[in-house]
Structure 1
Amino acid sequence: RLEYTECDWLYQDISCREPGSCRLASPGYPGLYSPNRRCNYHITTSSVHTKVKIKFLSLCLPHNQCSTDHINIYQGSMSSSPLIKTVCANKKQELVCSGPNLLLEFSSGPSLPP
């Protein structure tokens, strides 16, 4: 976890080489996440040629609240970077993205999660 933050994390490729070594989870996992949360998961690689595989093993976001409860994936280190994809609902999926920087931004709205 990044210092002075409640739920922002940094993952570097050098510490994520073993399968399953870098798992991201919503705040409060395996319990429910809180309403009105925004958490950032920063992923950095040592090279622009490094590929990052993002695999959603379990995803339970309200399907009718994609505008408030979702995960945005950005090609860069900030939410102003180009948006690659918005993930919501319960659809398990896998993405392969290029480095050197990615940002996964988890957002929850005012309603309690399912």
Structure 2
Amino acid sequence: MTDKFLIESAKHALDNHIPKSLISASVELKTLKKKWFQVFDKKTKKEIQWLCVFNQTATEDDIEFGRIAGTEIISDFNSEYGINEMFEKIDSEDTPRVLRNIIYSKPKL
């Protein structure tokens, strides 16, 4: 799977249902390093990192939206992939942390 497929999957998961509190959403694919006891495991584990950054007004429903989008993203991949969903709240004037592929960024007013 490529970054292009991951980006398209994440865009589809957002599907223009973006809560007002969402500042940014980004995604990245990481290959996990094997531990010493996993050397005989032929599968390389890959992790999708999904980061949603909200402003301080975010509700539990807004965070749940991020979780649902993460579920939709991982459903596009096979069992070789896992997902690390990260949700952060920041002050609106702060710069959000982002991963390699920015899927959504709220315009500054």
TM-score by length of 2: 0.30
Higher RCO (C-alpha under 8 Å, 6+ residues apart):
2
Higher helix share: 2
- Work out which of the two has the higher radius of gyration on C-alpha atoms and give 1 or 2: 2
